[in-house]
Structure 1
Amino acid sequence: MRYYQLCEDGAPRLALETADSVYDLTAAKPRLQTFEDLLAAADIANQSIDAVADQLLEDAVVLPSEPVEDHAATTPVSSGEVWAAGVTYRISEKARQAESSMPDMYIDVYESDRPEVFFKATPNRTVGPDEAVGIRADSEWDVPEPELGIVLSGGEIVGYTIGNDMSSRSIEGENPLYLPQAKVYDRCCSIGPCIRSADSISDPHDLEMWMTITRDGELRYDESTSTSKMVRSVEELTEYYVKHNAVPDVSVLLTGTSLVPDEGFTLHEGDVIEIGIEEIGTLTNTVVEV
């Protein structure tokens, strides 16, 4: 089941996409306007989110047949925080080494027991589908990083989404201590277009993932990979994220990328980034300078 956050006349509405139709859950239960409302209802009822939603389908309004993204889909969850994991794929380790003035420090991260987990974004730095992600005006080398996102409630995995961990490789490469500036800034992160419930994902460690980048109508990047290449499990990354950490009630943890454009490539204003993950959907963003 896929959950979308819609906006109609400035008011939030929660939609559910099944194999057959798209349903307006808010029409069935007006107080159920957001994914967080659904989480709260599931907690009170001591049921899964899919079980609660399924009980509302009989009274829910069926939305028109065009793609649900056409219904003004917004960021699918108002995550209190977005965190991210790094160097979880072999290609990410090599990319970090290539850009860095201190490459040896990344070797142990990929192979060590403790993963790299870092703060990524707050809600005001995060955008949703069809909104613009940012590249820093003081950066010379900028790339998107497509990632599987874990959606957590109370530290427990409740779903998955798509994330774009925008990064300034030139700033990060100058010195590892500059990582926060390379990762955390205005419009540095996008998530969406939906949340796929954890119970309806066959295996988060075996999903095809792809990314395209288009500039002035010309395809500049087109590659695919699989989450099966990730050296960490989603459970392991979640464990280290919540360990000794006062996490928000609802948060998103991005799991790292194995799709890295060549060293000669950098994003420009106006570029269009599309990131797709099997069983979840496609997240589309344009690029602006911030």
Structure 2
Amino acid sequence: MRYYQLAGSDGRRLAVDDGDGIADLTAMKPTLETFGDLVGAATITDVGADEVADRLAADAPRLEETTLEEATVPVDAGEVWAAGVTYEISEAAREEESTMPEMYLDVYDNERPEIFFKATPSRTVGPSEAVGIRADSEWDVPEPELGIVLAGEEIVGYTIGNDMSSRSIEGENPLYLPQAKVYDRCCSLGPCVRSAESIADPHDLEMWMEIRRGEETLYEDATNTGEMARTVEELADYYTKHNTVPEQSVLLTGTSLVPENEFTLREGDIVEIGIESIGTLSNPVTQV
């Protein structure tokens, strides 16, 4: 099932696409306004989130598809973290941009993955909202990633993430990584959360990205999450171990779709990221 958090004129609502249309879960249970509310209810009743939603959806009013235009960030993640150098091409790209390329090869081959802080709620945007490129950066790219949605230490779903990055700042010195990664509008999530129980294998999902400037397509390519050198369970374990994590969080899992070195984003570009079984996340680009 796909869960959407909607922000309409009548307040926040939680909707589910159960395969037969869009059901308004909040109309059935006003206390269910977010995906986190649903996960909490499922925990109390000791059943899966999909089972709770399925029971409510049976009698819930149906919403028009156009209602999904009101979709916002699909999960109230207290923090967003990210994993790096989890695909071979990502490792190669980071080596090319860096003044210390051996660091990235060491991480790719090492048992311990790179896990870094990415965004707070105030720095995270949802579908159709603008993602940011830094005004003090000369080389900026989107990074399309499968996002793991966690409730505490438990994987409860998956979403799409765009880990916006300044390659010029990060490449100048690896110690500048926080500035290259964490800034206003540095992350987008959406358009929904696909429940973990309804994803047969998160390591076998087609992922694609398209970047447009006006009528021109500047970049278009696809990959598969099966190319990841690590599992989602392994990455989640390293993120949560010895760490006090929020009630809800998202961990991005790295990318293998990297535009050519000559490419940089400009204000007004449109970035579209799709992942099989989840959907498509689209964002315009603005300078911050």
Report the TM-score, using the length of structure 1 for normalisation.
0.98
Query: 2-side partners of 1:132 and 1:219: how far apart?
Result: 18
Q: Give the gaps of 5 or more residues in structure 2.
A: none
Report what 1:283 is aligned to: 281
Report what 1:256 is aligned to: 254
1:67 Cα offset (Å): 5.2
The 4+ residue runs of structure 1 with deviation greater than 6 A are none
1:59 Cα offset (Å): 2.6
Report what 2:198 is aligned to: 200
The answer to whether the 8 A contact 2:18-2:54 is kept is no
1:37 and 2:37 matched: yes
Query: 2-side partners of 1:263 and 1:10: how far apart?
Result: 46
Report what 2:68 is aligned to: 69
Amino acid at match of 1:34: T
Paired residue secondary structure (2:210): strand
Paired residue secondary structure (1:16): strand
Equivalent positions of 1:21-36 (< 5 A) are 21-36=21-36
Query: 2-side partners of 1:229 and 1:23: how far apart?
Result: 35
Amino acid at match of 1:155: E
Amino acid at match of 1:9: S
Query: 2-side partners of 1:68 and 1:255: how far apart?
Result: 29
Root mean square deviation, CA, Å? 0.8
Amino acid at match of 1:53: A
Paired residue secondary structure (1:27): helix
Q: Give the gaps of 5 or more residues in structure 1.
A: none
Paired residue secondary structure (1:59): coil
Query: 2-side partners of 1:68 and 1:162: how far apart?
Result: 20
Amino acid at match of 2:197: D
Aligned residues, how many?
Answer: 288
Amino acid at match of 1:149: G
1:91 and 2:89 matched: yes
The answer to whether the 8 A contact 1:34-1:77 is kept is yes
Report the TM-score, using the length of structure 2 for normalisation.
0.99
Give the counterpart of 2:111 among 107, 110, 113. Answer: 113
Amino acid at match of 2:115: V
1:186 and 2:184 matched: yes
Equivalent positions of 1:168-187 (< 5 A) are 168-187=166-185
Report what 2:211 is aligned to: 213
Query: 1-side partners of 2:67 and 2:227: how far apart?
Result: 30
1:167–1:12 Cα change, 3 Å = same
Give the counterpart of 2:229 among 231, 235, 240. Answer: 231
1:68 Cα offset (Å): 5.2
Identity of aligned residues (%): 69
1:237–1:225 Cα change, 3 Å = same
The answer to whether the 8 A contact 1:86-1:116 is kept is yes
Amino acid at match of 2:106: D
1:10 Cα offset (Å): 5.3
Paired residue secondary structure (2:127): coil
Query: 1-side partners of 2:178 and 2:10: how far apart?
Result: 33
Query: 2-side partners of 1:205 and 1:157: how far apart?
Result: 14
Query: 2-side partners of 1:252 and 1:76: how far apart?
Result: 11
